[in-house]
A and B are shown apart, each in its own frame.
Chain A
Amino acid sequence: MNPSLENIKDLSVTDDNADGGSLTVEQALANLESADLGLRFYAAWWLGRFRISEPAAVTALIKALEDEADRTPEGGYPLRRNAARALGKLGDRQAVSPLIGCLDCSDFYVREAAAQSLEMLGDPVCIPALIKLLAVGLQGEQLISKQPDLSQPYDAILEALGTLRATEFAPMVKAFLEHPIELVQYSAARAMYQLTQEPVYGERLVKALGGEKLQLRRAVLADLGAIGYLPAADAIAQTLAENSLKLISLKGLLEHQVNHITPSTFSEGAIKVMNLMDSLL
């Protein structure tokens, strides 16, 4: 799990969390069973947002993954989506197996949330199920279609495979570098860097920081922070995006430096990153 990336998602790119209502844990748990579907939906979000990781919350959210009451007109499962997202944040591995089950759900957003949460929970036991979903877009080790394929949450699946170090599946991940959707390409580049540590994939992301669309630059900032790619530091500081997002990205680089190196003094890279961060405050 990368807390930096999480922050970006939590902040949903602007700033400042929209507030959190004033539930208690007991109320939230009771609301998950409420007749009011809106209250259930909010309670599931709330338990995740405030990291209520006690066993009763985990059990109730796992149960909510099988909810049938809350449906969108298109057949989606809003409560299941929120429950799946929350379970990723609670860090309880009991959720792994139920979340793997969600990868077969008919609702795209449930599958996406499950893949993201499985990434956060960090248990490689889910790799085969993720690969099965990824393979929907592949024939052997080639993309089936040059047309945008929106049938699966490929970006979330690729990111999870990278974080979970699914190295033996790198050739399948690599195929998605050619995916027609840029966001999916970046997820593939990020995963390939995590799987191989080859700078060419980090550089692919650095190049993307020069792209035209602000939304994509924001996504790439999250990716670079998540992989802690130090050579990107200057490009991160200079890209055209909000300082909040650059700071989160650079913090990812900094923590990667101090987590993975045990120096007797700060590394040159760590000092460089801190100086850049200071300049963006």
Chain B
Amino acid sequence: MNNSDLAQILIRAVEEADSSDRLLDAVQELAAAGIEEAVPCLIAALGYNNPGAAVAAVDGLIAIGEAAVQPLLQLIDGYNYGARAWAIRALAGIGDVRALDTLLEAAKTDFSLSVRRAAARGLGTLRWQQVPPEKLESIQTQVLEALLLISQDPEWVVRYAAVTSLETLAIAIAATLPDQASRITNQLQQMLDTDVDLGVRTRVKFAQEKIQPQQPQQHQEVFAPKIKLQDTEVPHRGGSRR
């Protein structure tokens, strides 16, 4: 049996699944087959409101890799934010630089926090070796600016995702843009000092250690309560949305 026949059988199983368990099994099998013909069906599975199936489909799309990028960019569902978040996750997992503009826009402007979160993460997992050397500095600068902005998102999980990406970007630009590296370390330090969320501050501290493992920092600050700050800042941040 060739890939095309196999794909048809597996795709039919997804289309005919009549329970969420069967759908999950069928999508898992299709994803595991790792064949390009499966891409549209896997993308469709991102919109079934079945988180298990969506996870399997994302894994399948990431495994297929570059061949899935163009269809994902084209078919990305502008109307269903659940599906859009999964599609962005798949693009982030693949790390293909063709997704850059989609990721930048989603991270900065999408109304859905899951989409912004996935896109913020994706900006840190781009495969820089794909970028032509003459464009590397300008693209990395663009990503840096975006991440500095996103790291001030009102939602903790988006800031958390931005921190993970600032971490990888700091390591990536140590060679290419050493004079910009201090902007990341300054931003991380500021977040450590002022972020209202303990989870975010903890991840910032972890990022700082990974960026500069030779200089372990004091831990005490992460754990210090920030009650006063929380009392005064939370209502304003919420109130200013929209």
Interface residues of A (CB under 8 A from B): 14-17, 19-20, 22, 49-53, 214, 240-244, 247-248, 251, 254-255, 258-259, 262-266, 270-271, 274, 277-278, 281
- The interface centre, meaning the residue of B55, B157, B161, B219 with most chain A CB atoms within 10 A of its CB, is B157
Give 6 A-B contacts (CB < 8 Å), ordered by A residue.
A20-B241, A53-B235, A240-B52, A240-B55, A247-B160, A274-B203
Q: How far is A123 from B199 in the complex, measured between Cα atoms in Å?
A: 25
Q: How far is A50 from B242 in the complex, measured between Cα atoms in Å?
A: 13
Quick check: is B222 within 8 A (CB to CB) of the other chain? yes
Whether A51 and B202, one on each chain, are in contact in the complex, defined by CB atoms closer than 8 angstroms, is no
Given contacts A240-B24, A243-B114, A281-B161, whether A266 and B206 have CB atoms under 8 Å apart is yes
The 10 closest A-B pairs by CB, nearest first: A240-B52, A281-B121, A251-B199, A51-B235, A281-B161, A50-B238, A255-B198, A50-B239, A15-B114, A50-B235
Q: Mark B184-217, 1 if CB is under 8 A from A, else 0.
A: 0000000000000011001101100100000010
Whether A281 and B118, one on each chain, are in contact in the complex, defined by CB atoms closer than 8 angstroms, is yes
The closest CB in chain A to the CB of B209 belongs to A266
Query: Which chain B residues lie closer than 8 Å to A271 at the CB level?
Result: 206
Min Cβ gap B49→A in Å is: 10
Partner of A53, one of B82, B89, B202, B231: B231
Whether A51 and B234, one on each chain, are in contact in the complex, defined by CB atoms closer than 8 angstroms, is yes
Quick check: is B79 within 8 A (CB to CB) of the other chain? no
Q: How far is A244 from B160 in the complex, measured between Cα atoms in Å?
A: 12
Given contacts A244-B113, A258-B198, A274-B203, whether A20 and B242 have CB atoms under 8 Å apart is yes
Whether A281 and B160, one on each chain, are in contact in the complex, defined by CB atoms closer than 8 angstroms, is yes
Query: Which chain A residues lie closer than 8 Å to B219 at the CB level?
Result: 263-265
- The interface centre, meaning the residue of A53, A258, A281 with most chain B CB atoms within 10 A of its CB, is A281
Extra contacts besides A20-B242, A53-B235, A248-B157 (11): CB < 8 Å = A16-B113, A240-B51, A242-B82, A242-B114, A243-B51, A243-B114, A254-B202, A258-B198, A266-B206, A277-B203, A281-B92
Q: How far is A230 from B44 in the complex, measured between Cα atoms in Å?
A: 35
